[in-house]
Chains A and B, each alone.
Chain A
């Protein structure tokens, strides 16, 4: 082809690197060269360092805190205690869940690792020595680590609210009770279950774990006393909300606060909440007039900032003899730790747990969740999932397996029999959600075929026989999961965080020479927003993704948004991006028509230009249009080419997927080996297949960790037992299996580009897939339920309890 010939339409499309292109991540150049800029890289002149004295006890009265020796340590400038914060009313702070939380120990401590005093020093070394020199008189109190026991015990954990019979979410029936939250029709559900031909009942525990981002939480607070401006750099998944909260707490007007989330080294929900470290750094900076940095170490992070899960889910599922599900009942005892600091939309104290009917057409259902205080760290965040969705998916996918056992039926067949059919969408679930779109049977059949499901079952049956004959000590497990998520919170009418509606935003400026910058209210923590949002825009406005800068995280420049968690960035901010792009396009159309001297309606958009209808040789490229927007006086059109959109989604999106895990288990040692893992994801329109694959690999690896070993464990007196990486399982390349990824594509009907979100699907679907594989390996020997994590000794114990050790 002649070099001078104009590019073909396909070449122009490819040149944009828009939707569907596996564009390389633009972030990676700096991350792979060690040029990222994380909070701990922020170094301001005169910066001080603050760190905490933490409680060694899980429950104790704090009778005295002596700071004299600490203040003598060279470099130590101040030691803040609750007494110092009290005059500012900052010794306690509100939580996202309508509770309040101690910033520094106010008379007692309620979990091991709780913040007791804040030592401010010239550097982190002096702070560490200062911490060692603070003397605290503790008087130990009885410890409650079991939520069931807590609800019976005379021991009062929260003395501050002991007399309150009403909490933020209704009545409290015991001094350690937080709320009972219910959804669905309990009477009808009970009736369906009582009259059913088959009922399966099981307690399913999803253990406490931790999102454990590689970068721990931290911030740098800098109060400029001359101009009255407070700047806070921090590991914030929701910087704008942090600004609003900081303003409300400190009384500093919001325009005088600037919150900046620089590069964030993973969040997974751990960086949504507001922590004592932020408050203390801000106070210390206001007091000293100097910037103050606070950075958690690994143990602090695992012990004190937000955990995830810890749900005891008691389920009953009923069906006809031939396997049609007739009802689902679930009661959860939720261990929230010492303070209710769950990060959920205000009206949903159990998040979206009531998505627990999963992928199935269940006529009637009920969910009740009791929140309980214990002597454990607060949190309860969504660890790489939408609010409590992983718990819900695990619950239903275990109950399906248990029901299959009860029915003596193949679990794949039972699923297929009960899936919501493609023609039922939009589908309203018994617990009130409106599923936007789905085609579960197609995905399921594709998955079963891809792994040769029948062949696997035959092999498994042969293995069981060989095991019984004493020819092998390894069993084969086939872990099935079909999950449905609910992501993209969410419609402002029912979702808010501290009163802020959960919309999101995008602001675009197209520059005169045809490149652009877009700013969003979200913040990437590794998801690759700078790559993928530019692709959405490229397809919408015809400017190459490579010519579009994406910026997030600085509240002085980005439009207000609710941040990144719950797979909401693409469903909400991605939609705002497309909508803002469409505003740009609408204006560009007027400019093009003017330049081409035709009526507005006589031009149409074509990839990267507007062409005169019927005369494609007459066109103006977006670059030409952008230039004209700045250098020509166009009658009736303002100069410039900018747009902003605040998007309030009409509904959530409902990604789904089919995962299958094939696992070998050595019954004598409890050691497992994952032979195959197949993951089919349907996240609607696929913006960047390579980024999707990366997200799926990462999420599956976290799921592997959770299912097979990762946990936050306490002993009976509340000592945290898993606060280092020796005991808290983070898989390395060695433990991580090879994944096969696949997809179907069922667009969301209400999202401007049909995208649904994918970052969290693999965690939601992965955990039950791994766990079901373990259970399935022992199904032939009578196993119904064994709690996670399935680490070696617990797997060994399953075999032992089933009598497989002879």
Chain B
């Protein structure tokens, strides 16, 4: 498992990285932690002539939390998401989810930017970012633009991002209330059989807001507005949870793979969603 030969670039700022992407067009790819891209290159399923390594670009690093707004640089590793205590205060669901990604070795190197930019339906961060209603900042030759996570994913490995754009930052409003990231997998290091992110808030014994998104249950992450709506105004009792699950299941379209057939995945998805809601509610 040896990739085809490629040229390696290591720009020190975003502008030079974009210039390289522009110059080499189709044959160029940004390299973050490499834990999705390099395996594909080793399998010769991705052919990359020019690797543009982003690790020397300081602008892409760091976690900032100001005025209830969380901003995370694309090159922040998954391990940093776990170990940053201020972030854990502001948005504990990130730590809970990141701890369920791969294994420590992968998390030391894999980045949040790579995870969301990759467009693999198996990645956990995209669904979570949809749940949090995050915004992705893309910078390209023509400047910068913001795209909502909920609008970013088109199909497997197809996103709103243009080839010569870089994803630089991820921002979202620090959530309040209860949260849960529930994931079923076969073993450590596996992608989800089904996973669900829930963030909800409670007021006077009733659910005031609820956001529900799912991972690996379609060719893109699935944010279910209807599922959230089914909870709002209820006490998240069994009936409400059932309605939310039913609404969420309407929107998924899992595929058969080694993790199991479609009917199994749909069933497990239902279980995982309801557990996520119940756990989030218990924390709200």
Contact = CB atoms under 8 A, between A and B. Distances in A.
B187 A796 contact: no
Given A299-B1, A734-B187, A800-B264, 8 more contacts: A124-B2, A297-B1, A713-B258, A721-B258, A722-B258, A732-B187, A792-B259, A800-B267
21 contacts: A668-B268, A668-B271, A669-B184, A669-B268, A670-B268, A709-B186, A721-B258, A726-B191, A732-B187, A734-B188, A735-B188, A792-B193, A792-B260, A793-B259, A793-B260, A793-B264, A796-B268, A797-B264, A800-B263, A800-B264, A800-B267
B187 A729 contact: yes
The 10 nearest A-B residue pairs measured at CB? A793-B260, A128-B2, A793-B264, A734-B188, A727-B258, A668-B271, A297-B1, A732-B188, A796-B264, A669-B268
B44 interface: yes
A206 B191 CA distance: 27
B250 interface: no
A791 B268 CA distance: 14
A599 to B, nearest CB: 68
Contact of B184 (A128, A671, A729, A732): A671
Contacts of B5: 125, 129
Contacts of B191: 726
A709 B259 contact: no
B190 interface: yes
A25 interface: no
Contacts of A792: 184, 186, 193, 259-260, 264, 268
Interface of B is mostly: loop
Interface string B179-202: 000001011111101000000000
Contact of B267 (A726, A734, A796): A796
A726 B186 CA distance: 9
A173 interface: no
A711 B235 CA distance: 45
A791 to B, nearest CB: 7
Contacts of B188: 732, 734-735
Nearest to A794: B260
A662 to B, nearest CB: 21
A124 B1 CA distance: 10
Given A793-B264, A796-B260, A669 B189 contact: no
B186 A729 contact: yes
A467 interface: no
A129 B4 contact: yes
Contacts of B189: 725-726, 732
A731 interface: yes
B1 A298 contact: yes
A805 B267 contact: yes
Contacts of B193: 792
Nearest to A728: B258
B1 A731 contact: no
Given A669-B268, A797-B264, A731 B184 contact: no
B99 to A, nearest CB: 12
B205 interface: no
A669 B268 CA distance: 6
B190 A726 contact: yes
B261 interface: yes
A171 interface: no
A461 interface: no
A132 interface: yes
A716 to B, nearest CB: 13
A670 B184 CA distance: 10
A132 B44 contact: yes
A587 B1 CA distance: 57
A56 to B, nearest CB: 12
Q: Which of A129, A671, A792 has the most CB of B within 10 A?
A: A792
A273 B264 CA distance: 39
A721 B5 CA distance: 28
A670 B186 CA distance: 10
A709 B187 contact: yes
A132 B259 CA distance: 31
Nearest to A731: B187
Contacts of B268: 668-670, 792, 796
Contacts of B190: 726
Contacts of B4: 128-129, 132
Contacts of A732: 103, 187-189
B243 to A, nearest CB: 17
A521 B267 CA distance: 55
A65 B150 CA distance: 50
Interface string B252-277: 00000011110110011001100000
Contact of A793 (B1, B2, B261, B272): B261
B186 A791 contact: yes
A669 B261 contact: no
Interface in A93-152: 124-125, 128-129, 132
Interface string A660-674: 000000001111000
Interface in B1-44: 1-2, 4-5, 44
A795 to B, nearest CB: 10
A729 B268 CA distance: 20
Contacts of A793: 259-261, 264
Interface string A566-606: 00000000000000000000000000000000000000000
A18 B103 CA distance: 42
A488 to B, nearest CB: 35
Contacts of A129: 4-5
Contacts of A727: 258
Contacts of B186: 709, 729, 791-792
Q: Which of A128, A298, A732, A735 has the most CB of B within 10 A?
A: A128
A125 B264 contact: no
A129 B186 CA distance: 35
B104 to A, nearest CB: 11
Nearest to A726: B190
A445 B4 CA distance: 61
A732 to B, nearest CB: 5
A684 to B, nearest CB: 36
Contacts of A669: 184, 268, 271-272
A763 B267 CA distance: 33
A709 B4 CA distance: 33
A124 B261 CA distance: 39
Interface in A226-279: none
B269 to A, nearest CB: 10
A369 B123 CA distance: 46
B242 to A, nearest CB: 12
Interface string A205-238: 0000000000000000000000000000000000
A668 B267 contact: yes
Interface string A665-704: 0001111000000000000000000000000000000000
A805 to B, nearest CB: 7
A606 to B, nearest CB: 54
B199 to A, nearest CB: 23
A128 B189 CA distance: 27
Contacts of A721: 258
Nearest to B190: A726
Q: Which of A299, A668, A800 has the most CB of B within 10 A?
A: A668
Interface string A72-100: 00000000000000000000000000000
Interface in B65-106: 103
Interface in A760-806: 791-793, 796-797, 800, 805
B51 to A, nearest CB: 16
Contacts of A800: 263-264, 267
